[in-house]
Amino acid sequence: MDSRFDGIKRFDKKVWLASPTMHGDEKKWVNDAIDKNWVTTLGENINEVERIVQDKIQRKYAVGLSSGTAALHLAIRLAGEKLYGPRPCNVGTLTGQKVFCSDMTFDATVNPIAYEGGEAVFIDSEYDSWNMSPEALEKAFEIFPDVKLIVVAYLYGTPGKIDEIRKIADDHGALIIEDAAESFGATYKGAQTGKFGDYSIISFNGNKIITGSSGGMLLTDSEYDCHKVRKLSTQARENAPWYQHEELGYNYRMSNIIAGVVRGQLPYLDEHIALKKKIYERYREGFKDLPVSMNPIPDNTEPNYWLSCLIIDKDAMCPQVRSEREALYITESGKSCPTEILDSMMAFNAEGRPIWKPLHMQPMYRNNSFVSTEGLLRGRSNAYIDEGTASDISMDIFERGLCLPSDITMTEEEQDVIIDIIHRCFL
């Protein structure tokens, strides 16, 4: 490290981006399942977490599944069959169909489109919420008017422009799959995320605000869909004396042991959100005098503050170049960049993370379409955007933004050291 960082001591214990926060009740419900020998994909823990989550989000049905990704896959399968009818062997429900989806998100949001043979069309983000831009979505319907399905994710726990997206979807007769994996507990106009999709999902993966180590849920108001998800997630057995199969199923049900961990965690959701919010506000205060902003909080929304992020002002960016696998930067006085900040934090044993690399920039999806507010930008394979190319907002946020250590167990003193490190990056 250079002399700018003199006097800072390396953290003995790693400061995490977001680690699981256990409270003790988790063990009680896991032990309860073992004591009662409900060590399978049935049991009281599953029933209870489904009931608690459906009440919390105000949906008629919640189905516990093995992961958020499994929930997204089943949502895609159901939506595909509803829109386009069943296919032979129920394979490739979306074959030949385009689906509009968030561009700056985890690839789990969109991979299930490919599992079902569909083609993701990526919709640019907006600065207001860092989520799907309604204007770009409108543009996408001008270009591809036949599309009938939208997958929308809420980044880092902040809801997007839900009403605007719902109106556009309704105007075009499209269904919405809502990926609220990161935003459990966040609200939009007073209602919980997970409430707004024709199919919605949440995740209990290890670093989410509530965890079961793994696990997820699909939320719906349709009894038919609920039964269908229960059936498909347990290998699609028919009601017969033997294993009778009339359609393709999966092994996607939640385990009663995992559900025990989730059950122990759920009472702490509000506490976790309050702690995460404090972290966000402490960063915001600490960065007041730097040329950076925190991730935005749009009107009408109360995030769950899962991850605190920052974005560096355009004119305070030092030169930074990212290839497919590596990053380089040149230190400049008064300026910094995400790579420098992430490297510096890592040198002191604190974990940050780049913003989700936009999916339209992922080699795997290089041939998929990408629509910005300015129209169709197709097949972009260069990994670096010219500054001033305003049309690719996802890429701009990726270039200038990063996720900060947002772990609930981080102390105020540790957070102050991280704030100090980031100040010194700008020296």
Ligand X SMILES: *Cc1c(COP(=O)(O)O)cnc(C)c1O
Q: Tell me how far, at minimum, the Cβ of 28 lies from ligand X, in Å.
A: 23
Which residues face 132 on adjacent strands? Answer: 125
Q: How far apart are CA 324 and CA 363, in angstroms?
A: 8
Single-letter residue type at 386: D
Nearest residue (CB) to ligand X, 131 versus 369 = 131
Cβ of residue 9: shortest distance to ligand X, in angstroms? 33
Give the binding-site size for ligand X (rule: CB under 6 A). Answer: 14
What binding mask, one character per residue, do residues 386-405 give for ligand X by CB under 6 A, x or -? Answer: --------------------
Nearest distance from C-beta of residue 306 to ligand X, angstroms: 9
Q: Compare residues 46 and 318 and give the one whose CB is closer to ligand X.
A: 46
Per-position b or e across 137-165, b if 16+ CB within 10 A of its CB: bbbbbeebeebbbbbbbbbbbbbbbbebb
**DSSP track, 220-279:** ES-HHHHHHHHHHTBTTB-SSSS--BSS---B-BPPHHHHHHHHHHGGGHHHHHHHHHHH
Considering only the stretches 63-71, 144-152, 231-239, 418-426, report the one whose residues sit in contact with ligand X under the rule CB under 6 A: 63-71
Cross-strand bridge partners of residue 339? none
Nearest distance, CB of residue 203 and ligand X, angstroms: 3
Q: How far, in Å, CA of 424 to CA of 240, rounded? A: 68
| Sheet with 61-65, edge to edge strand ranges | 61-65, 216-220, 199-203, 175-179, 149-153, 98-102, 119-123, 370-372, 375-376
- Judged by DSSP in three states, 347 sits in helix
Q: ∠ CA(17), CA(23), CA(28), 5° rounding?
A: 135
203 vs 320 by CB, closer to ligand X: 203
Q: Coil, strand, or helix at residue 191?
A: strand
Residue that the structure tokens 């041939």 belong to: 367
Residue closest to ligand X, measured at CB: 68
Examine residue 179 and tell whether it contacts ligand X (CB under 6 A). Answer: yes
Q: 105 vs 415, which CB is nearer to ligand X?
A: 105
Q: Kindly tell me which of 67 and 256 has the beta carbon lying closer to ligand X.
A: 67
Contacts of residue 55, Cβ cutoff 8 Å, sequence gap at least 6: none
Considering only the stretches 125-133, 177-185, 279-287, 367-375, report the one whose residues sit in contact with ligand X under the rule CB under 6 A. Answer: 177-185
Going residue by residue from 66 to 85, which x/- string records binding to ligand X, judged by CB under 6 A? -xxx----------------
Q: Which of residues 117-176 bind ligand X (CB under 6 A)?
A: 153
Q: Which one, 168 or 180, has the nearer CB to ligand X?
A: 180
- Among the listed residues 182, 225, 340, 407, the single contact to ligand X using CB under 6 A: 182
Contact 178, 105 (CB under 8 A): no
Pick from 182, 177, 206, 199: nearest CA to 356: 182
Binding window for ligand X (CB under 6 A); candidates: 9-17, 64-72, 73-81, 380-388: 64-72
For 372, half-sphere exposure in the C-beta direction (CA atoms, 13 angstrom radius) is 16
Q: Considering the complex, what minimum distance in angstroms separates the CB of residue 367 from ligand X?
A: 22
- Tell me: does residue 108 bind ligand X (CB under 6 A): yes
Decide: is 105 part of the binding site for ligand X (CB under 6 A): yes
| 406 binds ligand X, rule: CB under 6 A | no
Determine which residue in the list 19, 109, 220, 233 makes contact with ligand X, applying CB under 6 A.
109
Interacting residues with ligand X (CB under 6 A): 67-69, 105-106, 108-109, 153, 179, 181-182, 203, 205, 216
